[in-house]
Amino acid sequence: MEHVWGGRVSAPFLPRGTWAHPRVPRRVARQCAGCGDLVPRRRTWCVTCATDPERIAARRHAWYLRHREAEIARTRAYAVSHRAERAAWGRAYYARHRAQLIAKSRATYARKREQRAA
């Protein structure tokens, strides 16, 4: 028994004993990727694992070890393609800090000379 209201075909009432919406399956809580504790569905890490500096450093180091070849290749490619710019930056830095760098090297030479004499 279907009625047409406003150009749409719809049943006026649901048959007795049926639900308006089927059950929506809810996802279970996830487990923390670090320690395995239960965390809310949208999270990957628990608060402890996400904020502990040692665990963060361990994850970064593990990521670097997994992607080491690509990172080295990317650094080398950048150095090759920006060689002239990097040389110009170095010259500009030396020009800006010339007096300070010369004083520092003279102090180092004097200190080494005194160590050898002693």
pLDDT tens for the chain, 118 residues long, are 455 555 555 556 677 777 777 777 777 889 998 899 999 988 999 999 999 999 999 999 999 999 999 999 999 999 999 999 999 999 999 999 999 999 999 999 999 999 999 8
Half-sphere exposure (CA, 13 Å, Cβ side) for 97? 9
Q: Which residue has the tokens 């950048």?
A: 78
pTM equals: 0.48
Q: Which residue has the tokens 């393609």?
A: 81
